[in-house]
Amino acid sequence: MHPHPQQEGIWLRFLSGPDVEELGIGQAEIIDAVEQVVAAHGRGETVFEPRTHLVPDNGGIGHFNVLRGHVATLGEHGVSGVKVVGDFVPNFQLGLPSELALLTLYDPTTGVPRAIIDATFITEARTGAMTAVGARHLARPDAGILGHVGARGTAFSNVTMLDALFELDEIRVTSRRPESREAFADQLRAATDTPVRVVDTAAEAFDGADILVEATRLTEPSPLLHPGLVKPGAFVVPYGTISAVSEDLLDVMDKVVVDDWREARSGRFGALRHHVDTGKLSSETLYAELGAVVSGQKPGREKPQERILLWHRGLSILDVAVGHLILERAERGEVGTMLRYR
């Protein structure tokens, strides 16, 4: 199972979903790994390629995202990685997560593959961690009400990681299907003492909230998140694949931050795709990339009344950073299956 270092051939480590679970990586560790790689991105210590899409001829039920990145600050020589993640909304009908992912990690000095990892958990956790890192720098420190729309895979990480960083008074949740929002609320109540309230509409979840997270699974664009719901001082995170954002939302924002401007401009999908395509969001109206804020090059929140929006598409370098954290832990604990490559 675990070849001796002198054994012939090249071997790589396969980490299944249960292997990753067994390692018990904590949320705080994931948030730290994500914050460090976002700062590295701000300092230019990553090589980052915008995602590409593979859209099979399958009647529009889903597509694949291909993410590629390199982080120079990990390990001895840095780590390169490629993640393929499906986005298949009807998967719940089959009892499957809508986003199933596979990550491969490589030695950037030789091209030798180091690991194949079930990245379904990584995708969910790094997305929640990005929301949390953004909130740490851009939300009001005294934020008390979180409104979360959507019960997709990343929702649990979004809410629980934010709950760990802020002294929340209330968590409001809703989603399109009543059964999924109730199940999500039950899952949250088992994980936190913060009161969780299920509401029927996005407007009820968002109205007057201090942190607004839009993680819907729309099939057609619909303006669920609009200026009337965003109070002064609010922090807004929209990242539905199909936009749930009104055309005039950015009119009330004091600062708009993205994870990566090249990523924001690429691809066919994303919450603010229309705003980029029509020029409402441009290099002139953009305040900063989050890396510039986290690395200290630009201030984050400067005034309590500022309305700030963070649009994060999900960066490949986050997957590489969290994947590397998992791989190092697995190597130390000899977890996983060694596969002969050649």
| 324 and 182 inside one domain | no
| 155 and 278 inside one domain | yes
| 172 and 236 inside one domain | yes
Q: What is the pLDDT of residue 79?
A: 98
Name the percent of the chain lying above pLDDT 70: 91
- Residue 284 in any domain: the answer is yes
CA distances from 286 to 235, 248, 256, 310 (A): 16, 15, 5, 10
Residue 193: is it exposed, middle or buried by C-beta count within 10 angstroms (0-12/13-18/19+)?
A: exposed
- Residue 3 in any domain: the answer is no
Smallest CA-to-CA distance from 70 within 318, 274, 308 is with 318
Confidence band (pLDDT; 50, 70, 90) for 69? very high
Q: What is the pLDDT of residue 252?
A: 84
| 215 and 104 inside one domain | no
CATH label of the domain that carries residue 298: 3.40.50.720
Structural domain harbouring 145: 127-314
State the SS3 of 124-144.
HHHHHHHHHHHHHHHCCCCCC
Q: Average of pLDDT values for 112-136?
A: 95
CA distances from 314 to 38, 123, 180, 182, 263 (A): 11, 9, 24, 27, 9
Q: Tell me the per-residue pLDDT of 268-319, one tens digit each, with 9 for 90 and over.
A: 666 666 766 677 777 777 899 999 999 999 999 999 999 999 988 889 999 9
Average pLDDT along the chain? 90
Q: Which residue has the higher pLDDT, 284 or 86?
A: 86
| 158 and 288 inside one domain | yes
Domain count, the chain: 2
Confidence band (pLDDT; 50, 70, 90) for 4? low
| 118 and 211 inside one domain | no
Q: Where are the beta strands (DSSP E) in 267-316?
A: 288-289, 308-311
Supply the DSSP symbol for 241.
S
Q: Tell me the per-residue pLDDT of 233-261, one tens digit each, with 9 for 90 and over.
A: 999 998 766 667 777 787 888 999 998 88
- Residue 222 in any domain: the answer is yes
Tokens linked to 223: 């303006």
Q: Where are the beta strands (DSSP E) in the chain?
A: 11-15, 46-54, 62-71, 79-88, 101-106, 113-118, 145-149, 170-174, 196-198, 211-214, 235-238, 255-258, 288-289, 308-311, 337-340
Give the CB-side neighbour count of residue 297, counting CA atoms within 13 A.
14
- Percentages of the chain per state (helix, strand, coil), in multiples of 5: 35, 25, 40
pTM: 0.90
Q: What does R_g of the chain's alpha carbons equal in angstroms?
A: 20
- Residue 6 in any domain: the answer is no
- Residue 19 in any domain: the answer is yes
Q: What is the pLDDT of residue 264?
A: 77
| 185 and 292 inside one domain | yes
- Residue 79 in any domain: the answer is yes
